Amino acid sequence: MYTDKIEVEGFEHGYERRAEDPRLETHGNATFTHSTGKILSSPRLRLRSICQWMSFTMRRNNDIGQSQGVFWQNARDTRKRNWNLENLQVEDLLGRGSFGEVFQVKAKDDGSEAAIKRIKKNVLNTEKDLSRVKAEFSCWRAMSGHPNVISLFAFVETDTYWCFIMERGNFGSLSQVLRSSDVMLGSQDVRKIAAQLAHAISTLHHAGYLHRDISCSNVLLTENLDCRLIDFGLSVKGTTATSRSGSLAYMAPEVLNRRPAGCAADWWSWGIVVYTMIVGKSPLALFAIREQIDLENISKESRYELAKKTPVVLSTRTSPEERALLVDVLRPDPESRLGMRDGMNFDLLKAHPYFHGVDWTQLDAAKRKILRRIEIRAKRT
Q: Which of 4, 213, 231, 328 is catalytic?
A: 213
| 5 marked among binding-site residues | no
CA-based nearest residue to 263, from 180, 173, 337, 158: 337
Characterise 224 by phi-psi region: left (phi > 0), alpha (psi -120 to 50), beta (else). alpha
CA-based nearest residue to 267, from 329, 346, 323: 329
β-pair partners for 15:
4
CA-based nearest residue to 197, from 250, 273, 136, 138: 273
> CA distances (Å), 132 to each of 236, 308, 353, in order?
8, 27, 38
Q: 4-23: buried (b, 16+ CB within 10 Å) or exposed (e) per residue?
A: bebebeeeebeeeeeeeeee
Q: Verify whether residue 347 is a known catalytic residue.
A: no
Judge whether 210 and 143 are in contact, CB under 8 Å: no
Which residues 6+ apart lie within 8 Å of 26 measured at CB?
A: 32
What letter represents residue 258's amino acid? Answer: R
CA–CA gap between residue 215 and residue 97 (Å, rounded)? 15
**Could you give the residue numbers annotated as active site?**
213
**Binding site: what residues are annotated?**
121
**Binding site for ATP: what residues are annotated?**
121
